[in-house]
Amino acid sequence: MTDAVAAAAPTTRATDGRLTTADGKPLKAALARAQARNKRRAFFLVVPLLLFVVVTFLVPIGQMLSMSVNNSAFYSWKDRDTGDTIPLMVDLRGWFNENEPGTEPDEAAYAALAAGLAHARDIKAIGQIGTRINYEVSGTRSLFTGTSRKAERMEPPYKEAILDADEEWADPEIWAAMRSASKAFTLDFYLAALDRTRDADGNIVKVDEERAVYILLFQRTFVLSALITLMTLILGFPIAHLLATLPLRHSNLLMILVLLPFWTSLLVRTTSWIVLLQSQGVVNDLWVASGLIDDGNRLQMIYNRTGTIIAMTHILLPFMVLPLYSVMRPIDPSYVRAARSLGATSWTAFRRVYLPQTVPGIGAGGLLVFILAVGYYITPALVGGSSGQLISNLIAFHMQKSLNWSLAAALASLLLGAVLLLYWLYDRLVGIDNLKLG
């Protein structure tokens, strides 16, 4: 007996005609309290899961979104000893606020620059500032550190003194980069992630063609992910059909073979493909031995796009098979037999009767494989070479090598937005209610 029913029984009728519980409380209020108590109990049961999702999912995503617009490297410095936040380049930021983009730096601008460089060197923040500008103008970190050594000894006119120290300070691109970095928050990292930048006048323009790599990598990531999803569907559909229709003894054996990759390390599976596909590998040796190719014309199937597709298709295949199997298993085979008995060909019965019932599994498997593929990192890094790298590899590069975490966060945010857009389109076109994972 539920709490709501227990609270309502036994009941009596008050003199005014209202139903009450045995202790004289109104039945409606007792039912409301019981329902509220059940809701609180259910909430407390899911609190651990809710906290886990918040700590491991929502908080990191929030930090990533915050970092993608954070411009504090040029704006402030956090003292490691005291923990105090010290403003940087205050006078220069004031000059940028008072003058429009494209304004040629005057003596006041160079004086503010000299003071900012000297101050940043004193508090050991000059490396941070130079690194931030180096994100936009390559090679400028040494320019900042070198000029800062002379800044304390500089005297008016500061423009002449700074240009004597290094003529590169006359480059308007450097001043445009400093203007861009002079605000605490900026969307310029998203511009960089889309192969865009700002010119000396503050207008958004395309970067040079040799530097335009991010949109190309996004396109490659989505195209390869879609191709891998299609290949897993083509390979996984008949496997799932066999699993659903074979006798239990045989289907269990086949299911073990499908699940076997889950019991093997991802690194082992990936390196195994390197052994199989390399020029002197097993596959090429078999083709040479069979006479299909000459020994001097061995195929290059690794460290390129081909290796990425083959290895990722193998690794992600179970994620397509299992949702398909979960949908195919309950399908009554009598539906197809009835269609055949009514004159439909095998192809017509499959296309008109069987295939429509598997659409939820196709949608779930396709969505799952595609989302996993766009974020894959280890396999493309090991077998992809330069032509098989995905956007995830470049995100890792900026996190680990260039240390441009803000750009890495912007790239990751765009990737997350694209996946959410895909999820929304699926919901609009197919309906998320039709998605079945089991």
Total-model pTM: 0.82
Q: Are strands 11-13 and 85-87 parallel, antiparallel or unpaired?
A: unpaired
Is residue 19 predicted with pLDDT exceeding 90?
A: no
Q: Where do the CATH 1.10.3720.10 domains begin and end in the chain?
A: 214-434
Amino acid at 416: L
Assigned CATH topology for domain 214-434: MetI-like fold (1.10.3720)
Is residue 10 predicted with pLDDT exceeding 80?
A: no
Assess contact for 162 and 110: CB atoms under 8 A.
yes
pLDDT on residue 190 = 94
Instruction: Please choose, from the candidates 209, 220, 404, the residue with its C-alpha nearest in 3D space to the C-alpha of residue 312.
Output: 220
Strand partners, 87: 76
DSSP for 361-405, please give it: HHHHHHHHHHHHHHT--HHHHHH-TTTS--HHHHHHHHHHTS--H
pLDDT, tens only, 124-182 = 999 999 999 998 888 899 999 999 999 989 999 999 999 999 999 999 989 999 998 88
Tokens of 228: 């891998």
- CA 37 to chain CA centroid, Å, is 40
pLDDT, tens only, 277-313 = 998 889 999 989 988 888 888 888 888 999 999 999 9
pLDDT, tens only, 348-368 = 999 999 999 998 889 889 999
pLDDT on residue 1 = 41
What is the phi-psi region of residue 139: left when phi exceeds 0, alpha when psi lies from -120 to 50, beta otherwise? left
pLDDT, tens only, 182-210 = 888 889 999 999 999 888 777 888 988 88
pLDDT, tens only, 327-354 = 999 888 888 889 988 888 989 999 999 9
